[in-house]
């Protein structure tokens, strides 16, 4: 039984998306990896085809779809083997802050263009000295009448260079509390005092622009505060469940692709007169790895079902994010050995996957932080 019970509409959406990605994304993957970014145009094409921000209510230009569509997006994006086009980050991690906490004016101003791909979003929490410990955020927000002045630096921000709108976590100068002193602010591209720093060269995710952002006397209207003043930490905590489910699903989907590529190679490639897959050592490795991937898939699908029901599955999500991202690293490592030198060229899908999965245990909260969350809830 498929616990997520996809309807014919979900299946049709998947088919349409898969065809779109095969036509518009996969053929350009190598070029985008070399370019270290993706073109703006592909965001617009995705938006026009209805593949961005599917959960945004129809009144703001979306389809009001359930989270199963988001899961399909994450899975199908993984199948392309290119992680630079951060459509899930935009649709299922950043924009949901606006949908959930934005004022009607903010929703009308931004959501339709987030859906159409005209606006690419980013979220800026991490700073050079604060990432795991969000209570250590130092970017300062000072109110001056109807204006808020932002000063500070952010780093490792995905979509950092391409983004038209960034949600910035900042400490309110007049609130003296490490947790209840943070707010979220919407900063548009072109705002005076908002500049981009280095495009960070990375181990993997080559086609994604990960960058530093700087705010120097950056003045925005108070009306650009997202949600209530001082509630930034609470909003981030509330949204982290979905972010980590997306991360765990991304890991499982990547592992499934890695297995599919490896099995195809081992059944097709002949050594000593017979396919590699006829050797017991290879068979056992594939069986062990496939079992791990299946365990991850079962765990994550259950969490998606619980999440759609509106359950709080913070602890299980932290466990899943941690376990699946370690699992996909094991799978990528072992599969690289199984395929051997054929997977070593830089542009081979397995080589790219091997590089790209490495960071999964680090972003969306490091796995040490995930274990800390679980340990706290277990009252250890
Ligand atoms: C490719 C990429 C994309 C990213 N995209 C974004 C983005 O879009 N927006 C954004 O805001 N951030 C983003 N990040 C940042 C990412 O979320 C942080 O790097 C991560 O949360 C770790 O925070 P940190 O960088 O401060 O590292 P640190 O917290 O300094 O971690 C360093 C090491 O210390 C360990 N550590 C820290 N605290 C503890 C503890 N209490 N117990 C045990 N060990 C601990 C960590 O696990 C890690 O191993 C991205 C990072 C990468 C690499």
- Tell the residue nearest (CA) to atom 38 of ligand 1: 132
| Res 198: pLDDT | 95
The percentage of residues in the chain with a pLDDT greater than 90, rounded to a whole number, is: 96
Q: How confident is the model at residue 179 (pLDDT cuts 50, 70, 90)?
A: confident
As given in the structure block, the two tokens for residue 184 are 């979220």
- Ligand 1: distance of its center to the CA of 33 in Å? 24
Whether 1 has a pLDDT exceeding 80, the answer reads: no
- Ligand 1: distance of its center to the CA of 125 in Å? 10
CA distance 244 to 207: 22
Whether 250 has a pLDDT exceeding 80, the answer reads: yes
Query: What average pLDDT does this structure show over 363-370?
Result: 96
From 84, 132, 371, 372, the mutation candidate for ligand 1 (largest count of ligand atoms within 8 A of CB) is 132
Ligand 1: which atom is nearest the Cα of residue 154?
Answer: 11
Whether 128 has a pLDDT exceeding 80, the answer reads: yes
| Res 177: pLDDT | 82
Query: Is residue 370 within 6 Å of ligand 1 at its C-beta?
Result: no
β-sheet bridge partners, residue 163: none
Query: What average pLDDT does this structure show over 173-187?
Result: 90
- Ligand 1: distance of its center to the CA of 311 in Å? 27
From 128, 215, 358, 362, the mutation candidate for ligand 1 (largest count of ligand atoms within 8 A of CB) is 362
Q: How confident is the model at residue 327 (pLDDT cuts 50, 70, 90)?
A: very high
| Res 193: pLDDT | 98
3-state secondary structure of 276: helix
| Res 189: pLDDT | 98
- Ligand 1: distance of its center to the CA of 186 in Å? 22
Ligand 1: which atom is nearest the Cα of residue 159?
Answer: 8
| Res 105: pLDDT | 98
Query: What average pLDDT does this structure show over 129-156?
Result: 96
Residue found by looking up tokens 């080559």 in the block? 206
The percentage of residues in the chain with a pLDDT greater than 70, rounded to a whole number, is: 100
| Res 176: pLDDT | 83
Query: What average pLDDT does this structure show over 65-76?
Result: 97
Q: Are strands 194-199 and 165-172 parallel, antiparallel or unpaired?
A: unpaired
Ligand 1: which atom is nearest the Cα of residue 200?
Answer: 1
| Res 340: pLDDT | 96
| Res 97: pLDDT | 98
| Res 178: pLDDT | 76
| Res 357: pLDDT | 98
Mean pLDDT of the chain: 96
Query: What average pLDDT does this structure show over 327-347?
Result: 96
Ligand 1: which atom is nearest the Cα of residue 124?
Answer: 11
Residue found by looking up tokens 């190679």 in the block? 265
Q: Are strands 121-124 and 182-188 parallel, antiparallel or unpaired?
A: unpaired
- Tell the residue nearest (CA) to atom 44 of ligand 1: 368
């Amino acid at each position: 039984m498929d616990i997520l019970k996809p309807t014919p509409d979900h299946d049709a959406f998947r088919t349409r998306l898969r065809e779109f990605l095969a036509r518009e994304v996969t053929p350009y993957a190598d070029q985008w990896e070399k370019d270290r970014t993706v073109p703006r145009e592909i965001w617009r094409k995705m938006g026009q085809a209805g593949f961005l921000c599917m959960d945004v209510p129809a009144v703001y230009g979306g389809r009001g779809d359930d989270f199963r569509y988001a899961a399909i997006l994450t899975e199908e994006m993984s199948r392309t083997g290119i992680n630079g086009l951060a459509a899930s980050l935009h649709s299922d991690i950043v924009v949901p802050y606006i949908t959930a906490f934005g004022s009607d004016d903010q929703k009308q101003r931004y959501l339709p263009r987030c859906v159409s791909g005209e606006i690419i979003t980013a979220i800026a929490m991490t700073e050079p000295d604060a990432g795991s410990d969000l209570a250590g955020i130092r970017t300062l927000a000072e109110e001056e009448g109807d204006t808020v002045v932002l000063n500070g630096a952010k780093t490792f921000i995905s979509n950092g260079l391409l983004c038209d709108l960034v949600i910035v976590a900042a400490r309110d100068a007049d609130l003296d509390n490490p947790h209840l002193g943070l707010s979220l602010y919407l900063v548009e591209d072109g705002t005076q005092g908002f500049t981009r720093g280095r495009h960070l060269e990375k181990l993997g995710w080559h086609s994604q622009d990960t960058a530093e952002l700087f705010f120097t006397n950056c003045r925005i209207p108070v009306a650009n505060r997202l949600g209530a003043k001082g509630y930034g930490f609470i909003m981030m905590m509330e949204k982290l469940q979905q972010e980590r489910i997306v991360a765990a699903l991304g890991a499982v989907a990547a592992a499934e692709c890695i297995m599919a590529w490896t099995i195809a190679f081992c059944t097709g490639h002949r050594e000593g007169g017979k396919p590699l897959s006829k050797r017991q050592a290879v068979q056992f490795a594939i069986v062990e790895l496939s079992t791990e991937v299946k365990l991850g898939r079962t765990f994550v699908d259950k969490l998606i079902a619980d999440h759609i029901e509106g359950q709080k599955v913070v602890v299980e999500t932290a466990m899943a994010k941690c376990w699946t991202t370690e699992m996909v690293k094991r799978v990528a490592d072992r599969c690289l050995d199984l395929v051997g030198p054929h997977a070593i060229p830089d542009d081979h899908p397995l080589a790219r996957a091997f590089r790209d999965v490495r960071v999964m245990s680090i972003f969306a909260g490091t796995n040490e932080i995930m274990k800390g969350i679980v340990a706290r809830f277990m009252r250890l």
